Structure 1
């Protein structure tokens, strides 16, 4: 939805509660996308998770294709493709084809995380592409393929990710760290800080500051900062508080220093064991922005003015689908100055 220069979007993780099948979860995502369009949301993104007991969206490009066919004008995208697992060339082909089918409606959000536990990473990464091992190298290659600008000194010069669309997908980087913000700035990409995965406000503030400081000011492309926030709106303050109290995140820290976010102690223990490293984990409150429309508007306004953000994604983790729909409907009714 757009009021003035401020937009609100939805990032949907295709959640399934203990009583729902994967098919039902995907059906809910399709229905939510159609509702989001009718309510005036600007973008609708879907996530990537593997072997998850909770989130069913394992192939965002397939789901994006279907959602584009089921909607008319809302922007549809990935939030995001876990690029470490894939060939940048194949990802570019997929999204160039989507952009050729639906020009101007496709977003390509990319994340550097695994989207699952170590065992699923092993299943996905059966081999390595020679010469393209780091995330940074893959992201650079993806950007070059998307804009059809492979430099002459590149061994892949002359290759195109066909079909070349009239309007290529917009490329975004999602992250939860300062380093991801710096990388986005260096590559002149829009950056989405995923606060629903990392609720440390100090890290978020540092990421935002570094994105701004490291972005080249003499470039044609302006910096574009967004936040993906956990948000719950309900008809009463008490109902919203009850929903929000159910949400916790578990931060797992490996001995190597790498950190991951999961949503249950069981997943944290599985991740630690599968990593082969010593590990610790910490339960943290979800830090959900919650309340009535009036309360949520006040809280979002405080954040967007503090960080000078003109676009946010709402991530609403309510188990019951009808109540999740109601939250997004109420959010769409808020008038933004």
Structure 2
């Protein structure tokens, strides 16, 4: 079992954008010192409370600020990007930090309709499906595409390659990842369905036992009922569901209204509480152990659903692998 962090780089309470980005860097350095295995940053566009628009830029910067931890995109929203260029970018980054670069790829737009239109305005109308684009990206990274002898993403793709992950939230996406022998990250913090998590994990590992199955969960340290209540109040979420099965999660009514005003698509809106693991260190570790025993999860990835910088740090410090899972492996706990 390993612990990882997903940082969506929110604008933090009392922080400017520059200070919030500074915290993204400091949290990565802290996670590196505390024994976390991976640190992922996301891609969002035109969101009022999230900064990270360019994971390839953040990944490069964070690799330069850390020493041991794997740093990755969680993820590149492939619908906005050319698969060959994404493969080139992350191969180049991998040359800069061999063995530490992770390329997570997602399907969601990661932003408002206006942002999506702006990002995709030069793309042809008959664009390939996400699955085809993902397989194209994988073939460029693996060097297995039709023109691999004359079309290369680098003069050297043997000494170091980025590790590829598919991000998803469904049984079908997990099976697609397994069928194509790609690591998989299940967005449990969006889906909020423990039975689905168990079904997806079991199906993935049955099809691809050698693949990494990572469960991304919302986790916060809360010592009192008052703190739990405050965390829940901060995390009302709205799920926007589209006809083609896509879902997008936003956190304010304004974001919902802005999204609806800027699209002609029919959208179902559902308000809910974010499914979070809240509690003391022992309570959180007990829940993680329960999930680990009930389904084949290789790693947990912690999404930190708060704009409170101190609480984010405290959660990461309290659950630090050097204090928890590493001591357990050594027989200290």
* Alignment TM-score, normalising by the size of structure 2: 0.91
Question: How far off is 1:261 after superposition?
Answer: 1.6
1:129-278 aligned at under 5 Å gives the runs: 133-151=128-146, 158-165=150-157, 166-213=159-206, 215=207, 222-236=210-224, 238-255=226-243, 257-278=245-266
Question: How far off is 1:157 after superposition?
Answer: 6.2
SS of the residue 2:56 aligns to: helix
SS of the residue 1:197 aligns to: helix
**Does the aligned pair in 2 maintain the 1:240–1:292 contact within 8 Å?**
no
**Does the aligned pair in 2 maintain the 1:61–1:94 contact within 8 Å?**
yes
1:3 alignment partner in structure 2: none
Distance in structure 2 (CA, Å) of the matches to 1:129 and 1:277: 20
Distance in structure 2 (CA, Å) of the matches to 1:7 and 1:102: 21
Moved over 6 A (4+): none
**Does the aligned pair in 1 maintain the 2:201–2:297 contact within 8 Å?**
no
1:282 alignment partner in structure 2: 270
Question: How far off is 1:181 after superposition?
Answer: 1.1
Distance in structure 2 (CA, Å) of the matches to 1:308 and 1:326: 28
Distance in structure 1 (CA, Å) of the matches to 2:268 and 2:57: 35
Deviations 1:140-188 (CA, angstroms, capped at 9, x unpaired): 1111111222235xxx762100143411000000111222112111211
Q: Could you tell me which of 304, 316, 321 is aligned with 2:309? A: 321
Distance in structure 2 (CA, Å) of the matches to 1:18 and 1:123: 29
Using CA pairs under 8 Å that are at least 6 residues apart, name the structure with larger relative contact order, 1 or 2: 2
SS of the residue 2:191 aligns to: coil
Question: How far off is 1:291 after superposition?
Answer: 0.5
Distance in structure 1 (CA, Å) of the matches to 2:246 and 2:2: 33
1:31 alignment partner in structure 2: 26
Q: What 5-or-longer segments of structure 2 have no aligned partner?
A: none
Tell me which moved more, 41-50 or 251-260. Answer: 251-260
Indicate the RMSD between aligned Cα atoms, in angstroms: 2.1
Change over 3 Å in CA distance of 1:321–1:311 after alignment to 2: same
Distance in structure 1 (CA, Å) of the matches to 2:276 and 2:42: 19
1:29-178 aligned at under 5 Å gives the runs: 29-128=24-123, 133-151=128-146, 158-165=150-157, 166-178=159-171
1:284-299 aligned at under 5 Å gives the runs: 284-299=272-287
Q: Are 1:334 and 2:329 matched, yes or no?
A: no
Distance in structure 1 (CA, Å) of the matches to 2:244 and 2:163: 34
